[in-house]
Structure 1
Amino acid sequence: MYSRKCGRLFYGFCTEIKTLRAINAKGATAPEIARRVLSSWTVCKHQRHQLLQRQPPDNRLHAGSVRQASHTTLDPEEARKFQSLADKWWDLQGAFAALHSMNDLRVPFIRDNLLSVHGSGVPGRPLAGLRILDVGCGGGLLTEPLGRLGAEVLGIDPVEDSIRTAELHTSHDPELRGRVHYRACTLEELAQSEGEDGDGGGGSVTEGFDAVVASEVVEHLADLDIFAACCHQVLKPGGSLFITTINKTNLSYALGIVAAEQLLRIVPSGTHDWEKFISPVDLERLLESSGFQVESIRGMMFNPLSGFWSWTQSTPMNYALHATKRSEEPGRNRAESQEMEQETLTRAAAV
């Protein structure tokens, strides 16, 4: 895989840095160290460029490109990755420690934006009366906190073992019973089930959701067009879509894959594929063309030393996005919009 090849190159560069530290301890001059650093980095970039050129034209990476459609959101390889981690979701020091810490940012981000639209609910339960869909919920790391804020939350994930882990963990909290539900399915399967009574699954999709959350999910999906169309279908008019994901930059490759996966081991090696990262510009363009209005985008940064996340003024690494479903798409009536959504979903179901 391309990302793994580049990973080895960057790893070699990082190894070179360790060597330079040893050289510096022996009294090397600053110009000598600078020349060696520049030489190593230049070689690394040249080799990365050569790898790009070896890719077939249709598979080469372009910073502004969006991955090609595959008519389903499910990537079997991604599902296998998370299948092997299904019993580790609630290990606070394990593979998903950074996601636990991310709740300090993403939960208030979702809560505050929903309150600005719907106002405050019951004291102590500000999201009471709202229905939220958590796409790619995993073990329920975000589903549960949203339920504790009073919302009725349905978490979905294609990995059944992750859903079982989520159900088991939620069952230990009486406050969440009847408020948090889970279903082992893909987003398109849920959208196709519109009209079902939803027994044991958190209610009928026909009612529509007030919000859809996809946190650290889109970088693992096979088809973002299907994802956007399904989100649009299951949301109520004016409903909110919340996404957190990773920008597609050189920095996100160096820190998100090389450093986080290969050097610091913050997340398991192979968790991310840089080819699937998407920039805020491309994601906004995709959502706008799918009937959404992007309301805000905020940069996020993880500190591996402290283990905490913080908001940033720019988006070179992670970012959070809030969009709302437009009541009517420009130049398209409701019937035409529904027809296009159904056509997209039919293609997904046919695969």
Structure 2
Amino acid sequence: MLIRAIGSRWQNFRKVATASSVDNEEIQHFEKFICEWWNEFGPMKPLHSMNKLRIPFIRDGLINAGALNHDDINNPKILKNVSILDVGCGGGILSEPLARLGSNVTGIDASTNLVHLAQVHAKRNSLEINYLATSIEEHSSKNVEKYDAVVASEVLEHVVEKEKFLEACAKCLKPMGSIFITSISKTLLANFAVIFLAENTFQQLPKGTHQFEKFIEPSELQKMLEDQNCRTKLVHGIVYNVFTNNWHWCRDTSVNFAIQAVKLKSK
């Protein structure tokens, strides 16, 4: 039933056409895997397994930023009343567990078909998530300082106009709100590990998913965030085991990394 519903939308494929950082070639690439998006052992399995790392990253980051009470860490609805914008949400792999923790989630993606997939899947799981087919630039024009947290996980390495993208993300964020980003560092080691090994050799990721020129160094990202009045609170390195499909924190940020920054109050 779900695949048939997606298939019918596929025939009406369209892209969000706005002056934005959206890369239409990236949309076409990810829509190839639309029918396997929720297969935890399929091409999206690294994103599914990454939730074990990035959900606590967001939760603990909000606690450390003073947005949540540390005493409620074991509360199954610890994110209750927290508004979160999931940018580049795809089919909802990250949006759904955030919603299960009680947060008010809005997921946006430039792919109409992936947003429809997310809507259908959330409905089947009785989750109320506000999914929208739009770009971050278009969304930010109507939602200034609306969210307690903005999440862009495994998205920035698919964006060419990163400054424009981050400016729009920061625009949506409330003062003292947090932005959470996971991405890939622009190093030769990352090129070898992600593209040569994970994509081309072990095929843990679909070939063509990443382009080295779109990767970004953590220090460069921090500078871009500072330009948007967002001060870095922490930087973590992340390592992915292609054999076990597990992610772990590490000190080395030369391949995968995570950043949390807090938007300062305007003077």
Residue 99 in 1 paired to residue 47 in 2? yes
Q: Please show how residues 214-233 of structure 1 align to structure 2 within 5 Å.
A: 214-233=152-171
- Structure 1 residue 76: Cα displacement: 1.4
Structure 2 contact 109–115 (Cα < 8 Å) conserved: yes
> 115, 126, 129: which one pairs with 2:81?
129
> 45, 62, 79: which one pairs with 1:114?
62
Residue 83 in 1 paired to residue 24 in 2? no
- Structure 1 residue 72: Cα displacement: 2.5
Deviations 1:150-172 (A, max 9, x none): 10000000011111111111111
Deviations 1:228-286 (A, max 9, x none): 11112111101100000001111111110011111111111100000000010110111
Give the match for residue 153 of structure 1: 105
Q: Structure 1 counterpart of 2:152, which letter? A: A
Residue 185 in 1 paired to residue 185 in 2? no
Deviations 1:185-243 (A, max 9, x none): 11001012x1xxxxxxxxxx256100000000001112111111111211110110000
Q: Structure 1 counterpart of 2:68, which letter? A: G
> 122, 135, 155: which one pairs with 1:170?
122
Q: Structure 2 counterpart of 1:184, which letter? A: A
Normalised by the length of structure 1, the TM-score is 0.68
Normalised by the length of structure 2, the TM-score is 0.88
Residue 242 in 1 paired to residue 196 in 2? no
CA distance in 1, matches of 2:25, 2:90: 16
How many residues were matched structurally? Answer: 245
For the residue of structure 1 that corresponds to 2:265, the secondary structure is coil
CA distance in 1, matches of 2:153, 2:45: 15
- Structure 1 residue 123: Cα displacement: 3.5
CA distance in 2, matches of 1:184, 1:72: 13
- Structure 1 residue 75: Cα displacement: 1.0
- Structure 1 residue 77: Cα displacement: 1.2
Q: Please show how residues 258-337 of structure 1 align to structure 2 within 5 Å.
A: 258-328=196-266
Q: Structure 1 counterpart of 2:151, which letter? A: V
CA distance in 2, matches of 1:316, 1:305: 20
CA distance in 1, matches of 2:229, 2:150: 14
Structure 1 contact 147–153 (Cα < 8 Å) conserved: yes
Structure 1 contact 301–311 (Cα < 8 Å) conserved: yes
Which structure shows the higher strand fraction? 2
Deviations 1:71-126 (A, max 9, x none): 62111111111122222210111111011010011000001111232223694200
Deviations 1:306-343 (A, max 9, x none): 11111111111101100010112xxxx5xxxxxxxxxx
Unmatched 5+ stretches in structure 1? 1-70, 195-204, 334-351
CA distance in 2, matches of 1:219, 1:294: 19
CA distance in 2, matches of 1:76, 1:209: 26
Structure 1 contact 155–182 (Cα < 8 Å) conserved: yes
Give the match for residue 48 of structure 1: none
Structure 2 contact 145–171 (Cα < 8 Å) conserved: no
Q: Structure 1 counterpart of 2:228, which letter? A: S
For the residue of structure 2 that corresponds to 1:87, the secondary structure is helix
Identity across aligned pairs (percent)? 40
Unmatched 5+ stretches in structure 2? 1-18
Structure 1 contact 261–269 (Cα < 8 Å) conserved: yes
Q: Structure 2 counterpart of 1:252, which letter? A: A
Query: Which one has a bigger Cα radius of gyration?
Result: 1
Q: Structure 1 counterpart of 2:80, which letter? A: A
CA distance in 2, matches of 1:310, 1:191: 33
CA distance in 2, matches of 1:105, 1:155: 19
Structure 1 contact 238–326 (Cα < 8 Å) conserved: yes
Pairwise CA RMSD:
1.4
For the residue of structure 2 that corresponds to 1:167, the secondary structure is helix
CA distance in 2, matches of 1:76, 1:147: 28
